[in-house]
Structure 1
Amino acid sequence: MTSPVPRRGGFVFLDPEQGRVLRVMPFQYNPDGIVRAVQPRGSSGGDRLEALRLQGPARETFRIEVEFDAVDQLASKSLPAPPAGSGLFATLAALESAVTPTSAQLTRQNDLAGQGILEIAPVQSPLSVLVLGQHRVLPVRIQDMDVTEEAYDGELNPVRARVALTVRILTVDDVGFSHKAGGLYLQYQQDRERLAATVTYGPGTIGYSGG
């Protein structure tokens, strides 16, 4: 009996306006661990009646470290091979494209500035969706990306690298209810609520009598 193939995590980058898929960036290896921080948003007032009130969704951040190896990519049957002679440049570029404006966007801004036109709204990045199994399809903003290149080929192309990512989950407070990211967040929250409802221990389990 063969073992089931593990589900692969990764990023899906979407057009922020239309929601169409721009790029899929799977993890070559799923992370060994994830550091999660959940910061409740309670009332800042000193009124005792406000002690248990929540102002909105908690702020959640994930810290993830993923590894890439060009040699293993070439041998993989489930991932497309990287472009010949480029090592991991294509893989790293696909990740980094989510956090910097495109050359076309920069050129447009420069052209408009040359015409004396100032764009009020900054350029938009793709909507990054972090997929970590069926219960975590998370709209996120990549806050930090640390790339450690560990080995190179004869042309100085990186062939082994570790990428540490810090992402913050986008909520309806960030984008509203009608935005694609808002819908994804609500689905994530509703799934958590369904899972939480399955925990049905009684008070006596931990010795609480209600007194």
Structure 2
Amino acid sequence: MSSHPRSPYILKGGIVLLNAENASIERIVTLQYNPDTLTRNLQVQGAGEDGDRSEALRLTGPPVETYTLEAEIDATDGMESADDVTVDVGIQHRLAALETIIYPSSSTLFNANLMSQIGTIEIAPAEAPLTLFIWNKNRVVPVRITEFSITEEAFDTKLNPIRAKISLGMRVLSISDLGFNHQGGNIYMNYQQNKERLAKMYSGGNLQDFGINSIT
């Protein structure tokens, strides 16, 4: 990014891990470079999807929304400034910060193994932190990472990756998944209400744009 004093401040997209019980932030992972494209898919949740025509206009809940993106990570800046971490491990620390989001912690695994050895049955796995995908102030959404692939494209003399592309697939967790009383459910409702507020900013058209004067 240019150091010129008049250069605009560029916001970053990224992921925040939140403790769902007390809303404390556990980790912030900003994307080094914002991807050029962000693909969103919305699957309608309608009561008439099973063929019942009498329910054709009823919506049973928010659409199932998914995000996909490809992000790049590069060690060039760190290598030029002789950053100690980059010199030592390349971009592995950046990759690990993202990868470990989809791992249960090692302490959780050790504890589960210990409990199994003493004959204790775990009723339910420990709940992971709430994952939030943030893409400006109007898009702060709870998500579950569903796809994650990494292509490492270049390496240093110690075989540390120094350039990589990451492909992420995420499913938005709505109130249908979390409920209204969950911290993530509250964040989702803020997200949907932001959509409704933005929709009201659209001035709309008129029937003459379609070449007609009335519907009926």
TM-score by length of 1: 0.92
> 1:29: which partner in 2?
33
Query: 2:14, 2:29 within 8 Å by CA — same for their partners in 1?
Result: yes
Determine which of 101, 123, 140 is the counterpart of 1:137: 140
Asked whether 1:65 is paired with 2:70, we answer: yes
* Distance verdict in 2 for CA 1:126–1:75, change over 3 Å: farther
Matched, 1:39 2:82: no
Give the superposition deviation at 1:84. 4.2
**1:139-158 to 2 correspondences below 5 Å:** 139-158=142-161
Any gaps of 5 or more consecutive residues in structure 1?
A: none
User: Hey, what's the Cα distance between the residues in 1 that align with 2:58 and 2:85?
Assistant: 51
**2-side partners of 1:145 and 1:137: how far apart?**
20
- Whichever residue aligns with residue 141 of structure 1, its letter is R
Match of 1:20 in 2: 24
Unaligned runs of 5+ in 2: none
Query: Quick check: 1:177 aligned with 2:180?
Result: yes
Alignment match of 1:164 (pick from 164, 167, 170): 167
Q: Report if aligned partners of 2:91, 2:162 keep a CA contact under 8 Å in 1.
A: yes
- Rounded to whole Å, the distance in 1 between the matches of 2:87 and 2:103 is 25
Q: Which amino acid aligns with 2:190?
A: Q
Bigger helix share: 2
Partner of 1:186: 189
- Decide whether the 8 Å contact of 2:134 with 2:141 is kept in 1: yes
Matched position secondary structure for 1:85: helix
Percent sequence identity over aligned pairs: 41
How many residues in Structure 1 have an aligned counterpart in Structure 2? 208
Report how far residue 4 of structure 1 moved: 1.0
The answer to whether residue 116 in structure 2 is matched with residue 113 in structure 1 is yes
- Displacement, 1:63? 0.5
Cα distance, 1:75 vs structure 2? 5.3
| Root mean square deviation of aligned Cα | 1.8
Change beyond 3 A, Cα 1:38–1:62: same
Name the residue aligned to 1:127.
Answer: 130
Q: Is the Cα–Cα contact under 8 Å of residues 100 and 125 in structure 1 kept in the other structure?
A: no
8 Å CA contact 2:19–2:26 kept in 1: the answer is yes
Cα distance, 1:17 vs. partner? 2.4
Moved more, 92-101 or 37-46: 37-46
Deviations 1:117-155 (A, max 9, x none): 111111222211111111111111000100111111111
Secondary structure (helix, strand or coil) at the match of 2:66 reads strand
Q: 2:57 aligns with which of 31, 52, 61?
A: 52
